[in-house]
Amino acid sequence: MTQRHRAAIIGSGNIGTDLMMKLRRSEVLDVVAMAGIDRGSDGLARAAALDVAVTADGVDGLVALDAFDGVEVVFDATSAGAHRVNDAVLARSGVPVVDLTPAALGPFVVPAVNMSRLAGHRNLNMVTCGGQATIPVVAALAAVAEVHYAEIVASIASLSAGPGTRANIDEFTVTTARAIESVGGAARGKAIIILNPAEPPMLMRDTVAALVSATDEAVLTAAVTDMVADVSRYVPGYRLAQAIRTSPVPGDDPRRRLVAPAARQAELVHVTVLLEVEGAADYLPAYAGNLDIMTAAAVRVAERLVARTPEPAR
């Protein structure tokens, strides 16, 4: 195996610790440092036990570590406010950053969709868990038909939603809707998140409902099926929950009001795609697929960044 590229993590909570576990398996990246702000965090303790350099002094402590020399990519798994401070410090060294927070200082990235179009950007934002799960499907539909409207519903186990997620529900819906349009290619996007308190905790479930120009059902189905296979290469627990459904939209159907006036009289098809995401249980429980898809996709992005081998253009 060739020498792996050096990586660092800011954030020693659940997401940062799960990232570390995934990076330990990567053939491309080697996690050499982790920064947090809680000296008693389980993440820092686990990192130290694995001979990863640690600091509880945040980003300033990270850049002061000897292990930071030669780091080629940093993951930020903190918060939107903290990321703005962290990125300002990291910008001085020019090191690329994969941002798992809602800050969105850099462009949105969904590795199976637009990685090849983001060469040259130093800071890439991972959108949201719902975005990582559903935008690939919207983009697959947009590749073979005009997507006039796409609505996604992300249902996650309440136990997998920590204080950060709960404090940023509005940000989730706005950010995901923007990315459905700008990355997924829908003319109009909408996002909804549901925190389900069911016991035992449910796996992440995502529904994509789209209104598209009339296109052969087999073409739509093949595009989505191929995309799901692409995403499952880096998120093994990502899969279709049931068969893809399509149906014509009658001329008097109220859903036509969701599309632009110019398209309301055209032939439209309603496409429904149900997805399920089971986590790899590296550090987080298997039901926390919403967190697992973020960390798995972030690793994929960073591997492509340092290896200079973006996903093939779609």
Query: What is the tens place of the pLDDT at every residue in 47-100?
Result: 999 999 999 999 999 999 999 999 999 999 999 899 999 999 999 999 999 999
The predicted structure's pLDDT at residue 54:
98
Q: For 217-227, what is each residue's pLDDT tens digit?
A: 999 999 999 99
CA torsion angle for 38, 104, 259, 116 (degrees, to 10)? -110
d(CA 91, CA 102): 18
Backbone angles phi, psi at 59, to 5 degrees: -65, -35
Return contacts of 159-164, CB within 8 angstroms, 24+ apart: 159/201, 159/285, 159/287, 159/288, 160/201, 160/204, 160/284, 160/285, 160/287, 160/288, 160/289, 160/290, 160/291, 161/195, 161/290, 162/13, 162/14, 164/79
The predicted structure's pLDDT at residue 310:
58
Whether residue 223 is annotated as binding a ligand: the answer is no
The predicted structure's pLDDT at residue 293:
98
Whether residue 163 is annotated as binding a ligand: the answer is yes
Whether residue 166 is annotated as binding a ligand: the answer is yes
Whether residue 160 is annotated as binding a ligand: the answer is yes
The predicted structure's pLDDT at residue 166:
86
Using 50, 70 and 90 to split pLDDT, how confident is the model at 170? confident
Q: In the predicted model, is pLDDT for residue 128 greater than 60?
A: yes
The predicted structure's pLDDT at residue 165:
81
Whether residue 237 is annotated as binding a ligand: the answer is no
Whether residue 298 is annotated as binding a ligand: the answer is no
Using 50, 70 and 90 to split pLDDT, how confident is the model at 295? very high
Give the rounded percent of residues in the chain with a pLDDT score beyond 70. Answer: 98
Q: For 102-126, what is each residue's pLDDT tens digit?
A: 889 999 999 999 999 998 899 999 9
Q: In the predicted model, is pLDDT for residue 309 greater than 80?
A: no
CATH superfamily of 5-105: NAD(P)-binding Rossmann-like Domain (3.40.50.720)
Whether residue 61 is annotated as binding a ligand: the answer is no
Whether residue 145 is annotated as binding a ligand: the answer is no
Using 50, 70 and 90 to split pLDDT, how confident is the model at 314? low
List C-alpha distances in Å: 56 to 89, 260, 275: 16, 51, 38
Whether residue 12 is annotated as binding a ligand: the answer is yes
Whether residue 165 is annotated as binding a ligand: the answer is yes
- Mean pLDDT (the chain) is 95
What is the pLDDT averaged over residues 267-292? 97
Whether residue 15 is annotated as binding a ligand: the answer is yes
Q: Which residues are identified as catalytic? A: 129
d(CA 274, CA 249): 19
- Nearest Cα residue to 90 out of 45, 115, 59: 59
CATH superfamily of 129-288: Dihydrodipicolinate Reductase; domain 2 (3.30.360.10)
Alpha helices in the chain (DSSP H): 14-25, 42-49, 58-64, 80-90, 111-114, 129-142, 163-167, 169-182, 217-232, 289-307
CA torsion angle for 203, 208, 209, 211 (degrees, to 10)? -170
The predicted structure's pLDDT at residue 135:
98
d(CA 26, CA 29): 6
Domain definitions of the chain by residue range = 5-105, 129-288
List b or e across 170-189, with b for residues whose CB sees 16 or more CB atoms inside 10 angstroms. Answer: ebbbebbbbbbbebbbbbbb
Q: In the predicted model, is pLDDT for residue 312 greater than 60?
A: no
Backbone angles phi, psi at 136, to 5 degrees: -55, -40
Give the rounded percent of residues in the chain with a pLDDT score beyond 90. Answer: 91
Q: Apex CA 17: angle with CA 64 and CA 179, to 5°?
A: 95
What is the pLDDT averaged over residues 27-40? 97
Q: For 8-27, what is each residue's pLDDT tens digit?
A: 999 999 999 999 999 999 99
